[in-house]
Amino acid sequence: MGLLVVGSVALDSTRTPFGKVRDALGGTAVNFATAASYFTNVGLVAVVGSDFPRKHVEFLKRRGVDVSGLYFAEGKTFRYSSSFGYDLNDRTTIDTQLNVFEGFQPEIPEHLKRSEFVFLAPILPELQLSVLDQVESLKFSACDTMDFYIEGYRADLLKTIASVDAMIMNDSECRQLADEPNLVKASRVVLSMGPGIVIVKKGEHGALLFTSESCFSAPAYPCEAVFDPTGAGDAFAGGFMGHLARTGDLSDANIRRAVIYGTVMASFCVEQFSVAGMASLTQNDIDARYRDLKEISHFEL
Amino acid sequence: MGLLVVGSVALDSTRTPFGKVRDALGGTAVNFATAASYFTNVGLVAVVGSDFPRKHVEFLKRRGVDVSGLYFAEGKTFRYSSSFGYDLNDRTTIDTQLNVFEGFQPEIPEHLKRSEFVFLAPILPELQLSVLDQVESLKFSACDTMDFYIEGYRADLLKTIASVDAMIMNDSECRQLADEPNLVKASRVVLSMGPGIVIVKKGEHGALLFTSESCFSAPAYPCEAVFDPTGAGDAFAGGFMGHLARTGDLSDANIRRAVIYGTVMASFCVEQFSVAGMASLTQNDIDARYRDLKEISHFEL
């Protein structure tokens, strides 16, 4: 099948009450691809600067990620610096240096144009559309976005949203996009924009999946050791899309399963800085948490 | 079996973007008893002032609530005035007039002392303890509290918590009581204070149930028409305790069911002002939402 992700590769500096890292491997495409690599073959399209450490490329290769679409440009890699308070819910952005990411024009390598599953991480909506245009045998596409694009590029974003099969957003973005505080109503507004599936990520409160016919509420994994929430949403998307690409099954039951796999991957992501929590998992680790989530959400009629 | 609730009866003035009410029937014991009345016989112990409208007493009686413990004192009824913004998550307290509630000393009528199930709504922790002392054949007790008592009456509150079978709190109270931002850890801290069961109410994000052995994540009912969140937590507790008292079954599976019935009653509560959303339900209405929640949270292994 093949799964393609287009997004950012970054060097993250993060400070939480439990520690800090500087210039650690990060970015939406990295967290997505690392999570998805446990499920299927992933191709990554992104840009980094000439300062990007080779060891990070080697990490992605070891995870089986196809990095033939990882372009090295003159200049510095995208850097993102943030801090979290004690409760880890509110992120404070300290500094964003787009650097080479600012001029990013995603060019999909020929062999990756045949990817059937595509995830558009948050980049300029017109670039997201250009990716869809380049892909030749699309079976299922999903898109994430962020406040900056909802605010400043709404017209373009609506075109992208109308072109994808699924929107995956966090709760505040969903409310902002729909201009509606009630999440259930807001999700229906986003459905009316075109995609058949809307997924709302709620962090420690789990996720909601809406289609025109059904609603699914997924529990969060009850993590006691949340260390760094950075990348959790991208890891969620990676588990979700990875499972769909692995199975090729787009039934409602399987899409629900995919949401649970997304939840599992996000739970590993938050337990360590950067991609460390997802660096060396086994299928058993993943399946055990899947079964835990089944147990945790079970009740009888 | 018999279920007893001790708490407040109030006249609520509430303003939301969707409307406002003035001096409407409210209070923790009222919302609890109204919800629980669909499941079992409920006795209510509380105090009101001489200004309390007879029609509100008649409403409770029509719901089958035993009001022999509803005392009329000289003075005015407890009044609570609050407003909600557009997103309905943050309540702003405008005015609290304790009035006769300030001198409340719960005296349990003789026949209600034989209640086997007892719910202690948020009142002074030492008064909660005095209720437990008066009850003669206690099978299961649960307690709620609020920031004011956690802050100012901690020593007394810890005695009450050590004496009940279940603590039912909202998420911010749980974090505050445990002095721990991670909800899973915070809940374990509260478990270590004595109760075998800790339930964390998370409003639109559902509820969590913790015992020393297991964790259960209950979805919220996906309400599109949230009108007034006042009383939802008490309605939740009423459905929860009502189901337990109706069945007398304290197995893990049945406690999970009770959490879902609590969720159902809260969902009806928020759809209208005051107790209007819970005034005239049928068993079918309740069971339909229970089945909806099963469908909404179902996924396959």
Whether residues B299 and A294 touch (CB distance < 8 A) is answered with yes
- Residue A297 has its nearest CB partner, among B226, B291, B297, at B297
ipTM metric = 0.93
Provide the pLDDT confidence category of residue A17 given band limits of 50, 70 and 90.
Answer: confident
- Across residues A37-53, what is the average pLDDT? 98
| pLDDT, average across residues B243-271 | 97
Q: Which structure tokens are listed for A130?
A: 């250009």
- Taking CB atoms within 8 Å and a gap of at least 24, the contacts of A207-210 are A207/A236, A207/A259, A207/A262, A207/A263, A208/A183, A208/A184, A208/B222, A209/A255, A209/A256, A209/A259, A210/A184
A90 has a pLDDT exceeding 90:
no
Determine, for residues A206 and B206 on separate chains, whether the beta-carbon distance falls below 8 Å: yes
**Secondary structure (H, E, C), chain A:** CCEEEECCCEEEEEEECCEEEEEEEECHHHHHHHHHCCCCCEEEEEEEECCCCHHHHHHHHHCCCEEEEEEEECCCCCEEEEEECCCCCCEEEEEEECHHHHHCCCCCCHHHHHCCEEEECCCCHHHHHHHHHHCCCCCEEEECCCHHHHHHCHHHHHHHHHHCCEEEEEHHHHHHHHCCCCHHHHHHHHHHCCCCEEEEECHHHCEEEECCCCEEEECCCCCCCCCCCCCHHHHHHHHHHHHHHHHCCCCHHHHHHHHHHHHHHHHHHCCCCCCHHHCCCCHHHHHHHHHHHHHHCCCCC
Mean pLDDT, rounded, of chain B: 96
pLDDT band per the 50, 70, 90 thresholds, residue B281:
very high
Residue B88 has pLDDT above 90, yes or no: no
End-to-end alpha carbon distance in chain B: 39
A175 and chain B in contact, CB less than 8 A? yes
DSSP 8-state class, residue B43: E
Closest A-chain CA to B259: A299
Residue A172 and residue A205 in contact, taking contact as beta carbons nearer than 8 Å: no
Contact B257/A300, CB-based, under 8 Å? yes
User: Residue B89 pLDDT more than 80?
Assistant: no
Give B227's contacts in chain A (Cβ within 8 Å). Answer: none
Distance in angstroms (rounded) separating the CA atoms of residues B119 and A88: 33
B101, B120, B268 from B106: Cα distances, Å: 10, 11, 29
Q: Which residues of B touch A84 (CB under 8 A)?
A: none
The H or E element containing residue B96 is strand B91-97
Q: Could you tell me if B33 lies within 8 Å of chain A, comparing CB atoms?
A: no
**What average pLDDT does this structure show over B219-233?**
92
Give all strands of the β-sheet with B117-120 in edge-to-edge order. B66-73, B42-49, B3-6, B117-120, B140-143, B166-170, B197-201, B207-210, B215-218
Q: Do A184 and B224 touch (CB under 8 A)?
A: yes
What is the average per-residue pLDDT within A193-221? 96
Give the residue-averaged pLDDT of B213-233: 93
Contacts of B220 (CB under 8 A, 6+ apart): A217, B202, B203, B204, B205, B206, B207, B263, B267
Look-up: residue for tokens 């609050």? B82
CA distance A40 to B130: 61
Distance to chain B for A295, nearest Cα, Å: 8
Q: Are strands A140-143 and A117-120 parallel, antiparallel or unpaired?
A: parallel
pLDDT tens by residue, A136-195: 999 999 999 999 999 999 999 999 999 999 999 999 999 999 999 999 999 999 999 999
The CA distance from B182 to B173, in Å, is 12
Q: Taking residues B207-230, what's their average pLDDT? A: 94
Q: Chain A residue with minimal CA distance to B186?
A: A224
Q: Does position A89 have pLDDT exceeding 80, yes or no? A: no
Residue B93, strand partner residues = B82
Residue B14's pLDDT is: 93
- What distance in Å separates the CA atoms of residue A56 and residue A63, rounded to the nearest whole number? 11
Q: What number of CA atoms fall less than 13 Å from residue A116's CA on the CB side?
A: 13
d(CA A64, CA A242): 13
- For A116-124, what is the mean pLDDT? 98
**Interface A:B, Cβ pairs < 8 A:** 98
- Give yes or no for residue A1 having a pLDDT over 70: no
Specify the pLDDT at position A226: 87
Reply yes or no on whether the pLDDT at A88 is more than 80.
Answer: no
Can you tell me the distance from the alpha carbon of B195 to that of B142, in angstroms, rounded to the nearest whole number?
9
- What integer is the mean pLDDT of B248-252? 97
The average pLDDT across B101-114 equals 96
**Arithmetic mean of pLDDT, B46-64:** 98
pLDDT value for A23: 96
Phi, psi dihedrals of residue A246, rounded to the nearest 5°: -60, -40
* Mean confidence (pLDDT) of chain A: 96
Q: How far apart are CA B276 and CA B56, in angstroms?
A: 12
Q: How far apart are CA B282 and CA A150, in angstroms?
A: 44
In the predicted structure, residue A295 carries a pLDDT above the cut 70: yes
Rounded to whole angstroms, the Cα distance separating B21 from A59 reads 61
pLDDT tens track for A66-78: 999 999 999 999 9
The answer to whether B259 faces chain A, any CB pair under 8 Å, is: yes
| Beta partners for residue B218, in sequence order | B207
The whole-angstrom separation of Cα B278 and Cα B234 is 12
Task: State the residue for tokens 């929590």.
Answer: A277
Render the burial of A277-301: b for 16+ CB within 10 Å, e for the rest.
bbeebeeeebeebbebbeebbebee
Domains and CATH numbers, chain B: 3-297 (3.40.1190.20)
Q: Is A253 at the interface with chain B, CB within 8 A?
A: yes
In angstroms, the first-to-last Cα distance of chain A is 39
User: Which residues from chain B sit within 8 angstroms of residue A220, using beta carbons?
Assistant: 217
pLDDT of residue A225: 85
Q: For CA atoms A160, A165, A168, A171, give the dihedral sign.
A: positive
- Whether chain A has a CB inside 8 Å of the CB on B297: the answer is yes
Task: Please determine, for residue B127, whether its predicted confidence score (pLDDT) is greater than 90.
Answer: yes
Q: Is pLDDT above 80 for A87?
A: no
Q: Decide if pLDDT at B114 tops 80.
A: yes
- Of A159, A155, A161, the C-alpha closest to A189 is A161
Q: Which pLDDT band holds residue B86 (cuts at 50, 70, 90)?
A: confident
Query: If you average pLDDT over residues A263-288, what whole number do you get?
Result: 97
Residue B218 near chain A (CB below 8 Å): yes
| Interface test with chain B among A217, A270, A271, A289, by most B beta carbons within 10 Å | A217
pLDDT of residue B49: 98
The whole-number pLDDT of residue B151 equals 96
What pLDDT does residue B1 have? 64
